[in-house]
Amino acid sequence: MTATTDGSAGAVDPRAAEAARTTDTPPARGQDREAAARAAQRATDHLLARQDAAGWWKGDLETNVTMDAEDLLLRQFLGIGDEKTTRAAAVYIRGEQREDGTWATFYGGPGELSTTIEAYVALRLAGDRPEDPHMARASAWIRAHGGIADARVFTRIWLALFGWWKWEDLPEVPPELNLLPSWFPLNIYAFGCWARQTIVPLSIVSALRPVRPAPFALTELHTDPARPNPPKPLAPPTGWDGIFQRIDKALHVYHRFAPRLLRGTAIDTAARWIVERQENDGCWGGIQPPAVYSLIALHLLGYDLRHPVMRAGLESLDRFTSWREDGSRMIEACQSPVWDTCLATIALADAGLAPDHPALVKAVDWMLDEEITKKGDWAVRRPRLAPGGWAFEFHNDTYPDIDDTAEVILALRRVRHPEPARVEAAVRRAARWTVGMQSRNGAWGAFDADNTSPFPNRLPFCDFGEVIDPPSADVTAHVVEFLGYEGKAEHPSTRRGIDWLLAEQDVDGGWFGRWGVNYLYGTASVVPALTAAGLPGSHPALRRAVAWVESVQNEDGGWGEDLRSYRERGWIGRGVSTASQTAWALISLLAAGEEDTEAVRRGIAWLVATQHEDGTWDEPYYTGTGFPWDFSINYHLYRQVFPLTALGRYLNGEPVPAGLPAPAAGEG
């Protein structure tokens, strides 16, 4: 199919597209290159000006208003709300409301029930009245879409804290989960790290079932206030959904008769687990949701607000706040300095900045200081593996990220640092750890190895996004890419990764994007990896990828892909052109040797034409993901680093960092 700027699609013969690719004679590149060079210089100047004095870069990480709503609900629950914070949050939440009264989870997306309910409740806390026009529109839409009863479990847990929903009408999250051994199918390490960090504190909250009386009722959000939660039929007992629903009913009975000693032991174990994983800056895992639930759980166990653990946790939440010029405040779900810094370093180096430029050296100094050298929860599956690598955030020693680690290594290799031995030692530790985190199928997940149990997703309380961390094409590709640059294309771990990637190619020619939207991101990750590992541009998999990328180019010369591609195949490769997704398409084509094609020339021209004089690009569309479709991210630095990377590779060719011998395979 070929995409147009209005999102329409039409069929195209792939053989015709291939013929056009091979027979086109693009115009002379001189003028194109001059314009691209000017754009790259402007983007370079802008990015250098944004670097922090300490050496890092960080753009805002924008998600949706549930972060802001839940922050207000937390403050209401703990009794620490203040007028300034509430007013600023309300301004931001109101500003994100759509004309139909709803709130979406991404720019241009459809209204989403749970998000709209949480935003509505937060505005009620801020003093907005149900009869206000914007509130009336929201409540009418909520009722028309099933009301509170059809909201996700996590939304109804928040409502239960204030008596707006009954605890007994929620799925059980028994704290005894924390006592299960690591070999048991539903132990806490069977969940992805982000789910694990949330479920452990929620198990305490679920056991204690607190209620802080609400300042108002929410009858206007029920389809029938007299029967707010009408019973729903159980799934057949022959399937896993039906089995787990019946297990949940049994756990409700168990809740009433749980042995006091066993339950107390389980809660104490959970509390110790939470406290032991608090980071030095007070947060938990560097992300906001676990911090919120951990603070509630510990507070219920008697930790007062002056306790050092609570005080540090509350102070850490303030660092997730981004204040706006209009007086509003946006809450980031997490912060991405390591990810942003390694991507900015790669972009600047590929754009031609001198490898010993002070900005790059300073960035490397900062990244080296962020190296993780202690074991975390990943060691449950890899107990003999030595630590190494980098996390995503400022502070997160428990969960280094395989994706970040791979990209940091690629960034370090582009810089001529005055202490090469220091860089080499860090790379070797990180590479050894990364290879050791390879899953049994030859691929890599983001945080854990072999985190692929089919059971967690079946639990009734796991109805929001991904709760496991299986291997993905984009993470695997980044690992294969750095191993290729390290001179280990023939290493058994690399070959297994390549074989897995080739087997995962979509029938249309692209690769699924787990952590970026979507096939454009996955393909931009895999193609450079395969070429770095030695596959020639003529390889059939790469030819299919090139044909697909070219077939979905928009009429304006750019590329875009809507988040709806996660749910509907018809949206794959379709969407309004964006700076980051256009750059991803170009990165794919350039890696496959397509620098002299019409598609690349038009894509470069689109980047040049849409750049502002200050070197920036606009991008309101969300091109990052936390959970595909369910939790979307607008990384504000993506619109800067990826276009600069694409421009740099167009002007200077593919990067060839100097490599070192890669490590021996670990426990992967």
Catalytic residues: 403
3-state secondary structure 58-124: CCCEECCCHHHHHHHHHHHHHCCCCHHHHHHHHHHHHHCCCCCCCCECCCCCCECHHHHHHHHHHHH
**Short-list 396, 376, 401, 398, CA closest to 386:** 376
Residue 374 CB: number of other CB atoms within 10 A? 9
**Short-list 115, 125, 187, CA closest to 152:** 115
**Alpha-carbon torsion angle 448, 451, 457, 460, nearest 10:** -70
**Short-list 258, 260, 74, 275, CA closest to 173:** 258
Distance between the two ends of the chain, CA-based, in angstroms? 39
Distance between CA atoms of residues 149 and 380, nearest Å: 38
Distance between CA atoms of residues 211 and 77, nearest Å: 9
Q: Which long-range contacts (CB under 8 A, 24 or more apart) does 567-573 make?
A: 567/629, 570/9, 572/506, 572/508, 572/510, 572/518, 572/519, 573/1, 573/3, 573/508, 573/510, 573/519, 573/520, 573/548
Residue 122 is which amino acid? A
Distance between CA atoms of residues 348 and 180, nearest Å: 48
278, 312 Cβ separation under 8 angstroms:
yes
Distance between CA atoms of residues 217 and 222, nearest Å: 11
**Short-list 79, 231, 249, CA closest to 171:** 249
478, 653 Cβ separation under 8 angstroms:
no
Residue 465 DSSP symbol: S
Residue found under tokens 């297994």: 496
- CA neighbours closer than 13 Å in the CB half-sphere of residue 307: 13
**Short-list 154, 105, 129, CA closest to 216:** 129
Query: Which token pair is 547?
Result: 């044909």
624-627 sheet: strands from edge to edge: 61-62, 631-635, 624-627
Is residue 302 left, alpha or beta, with left meaning phi > 0 and alpha meaning psi from -120 to 50?
left
Read out DSSP for 403-426? HHHHHHHHHHTTS--S-HHHHHHH
Distance between CA atoms of residues 668 and 666, nearest Å: 6
Is residue 221 left, alpha or beta, with left meaning phi > 0 and alpha meaning psi from -120 to 50?
alpha
Distance between CA atoms of residues 49 and 340, nearest Å: 14
The dihedral sign for the CA sequence 83, 84, 90, 93: negative
Is residue 176 classed as helix, strand or coil in its secondary structure? Answer: helix
Query: Which token pair is 482?
Result: 């750095």
Is residue 631 classed as helix, strand or coil in its secondary structure? Answer: strand
333, 626 Cβ separation under 8 angstroms:
yes
